[in-house]
Amino acid sequence: MESINSFFDRLFSTFYNYAHFLLRVTLGISFFLHGFGKFKVIDGFSGFLNSQGILFPKLMTYLVAWGEMLAGIGIIIGGLLIKSLPVLANFLTRLSSLSVIVIMICALIIAHSDWSLFIGDRGKVLFASEQLFLLTLGLYFFVKGND
């Protein structure tokens, strides 16, 4: 078992420093796409928010869409600026990840509160796992910053 682990350590050692960035890019692109996609369904999403009792649903739709897009971009740019502007990069990463956390908590409460995590309709359980994954990545970057 140790020799297998050693083999993989040697195999992937050149990629070790990129693993953190892979998570960052995955979260950034995913969140950007979630926001960008909302612009194609503004009226539908706004109507859904209205049906959930959210005040100013049209405004909230735009705020969520832009918030998701900017948070995604911010997570990626925060990683790209680590060497040149480390303090700004760390702040941008944490601010963007805080936006991810807030948006995902609201999404889970408002839009996905009827989903169970381990039982129920398979599609809903699988999609809920994506929401939890995005929330967890947001928490990861908020706690870790750029370290």
pTM above 0.85, yes or no: no
Range of the domain at 89: 18-144
Residue 47 located in a structural domain: yes
- Using the Cα atoms of residue 115, residue 129, residue 79 and residue 86 in order, give the sign of their dihedral: positive
What angle do the packed helices 42-51 and 57-80 form, to 10 degrees?
Answer: 120
Count of the separate structural domains present in the chain: 1
In a domain, 11, yes or no: no
Output DSSP code: residue 120.
S
Q: Which tens digit of pLDDT belongs to each residue from 94-144?
A: 999 999 999 998 888 887 666 555 555 555 555 567 888 899 999 999 999
Residue 8 located in a structural domain: no
Q: Assess if residue 12 is contained within a domain.
A: no
**Residue 9 belongs to a domain:** no
To 5 degrees, how large is the angle CA 71–CA 74–CA 79?
A: 135
